[in-house]
Amino acid sequence: MSRIKNNVSLVCYDITSNKLRRKIELAMKDFGVRIQFSVFLCHFDPAGLQRCRDRLNALLLLYHEEKEPTDSLIIFDRLYLQNTECLLGKKVERERHSFTIY
């Protein structure tokens, strides 16, 4: 019997700008289910993960003047990425078993 892999991902953000935060929220509703105000649970295949990453990067480029140094946007994905992907923010800590936290 083959082992079932967990392809659940979390997308978390802490954005200062109301405008950028709202754009990210609307984009993430297309990819997953909100489980907390700024946390979405998503089931990605490799193509879906790339689409989400591209869409979020496009928003960050389009609204670059809205970004603050303290903002963060993180994708936690265990199946397709060995490390957590930080689209915006800086690395602060690394956990041993599951994820890298940025």
Could you tell me if residue 82 is inside a domain? yes
Q: Is residue 2 one of the residues assigned to a domain?
A: no
CATH of the domain at 71: 3.30.70.240
Contacts of 61 by beta carbon, 8 Å cutoff, 6+ apart: none
Q: What single letter denotes the amino acid at residue 11?
A: V
Percent of the chain clearing pLDDT 90 (strictly above): 45
The whole domain housing 45 covers 8-101
80 within some domain: yes
Give tens-digit pLDDT for 1-23: 444 455 788 899 999 999 999 99
Distance CA 51, CA 85 (A): 14
Orientation of helix 46-62 relative to helix 18-28, angle to 10°: 160
In a domain, 72, yes or no: yes
Number of domains comprising the chain: 1
Which residues, given as ranges, of the chain have pLDDT below 50? 1-4, 79-81, 83, 92-102
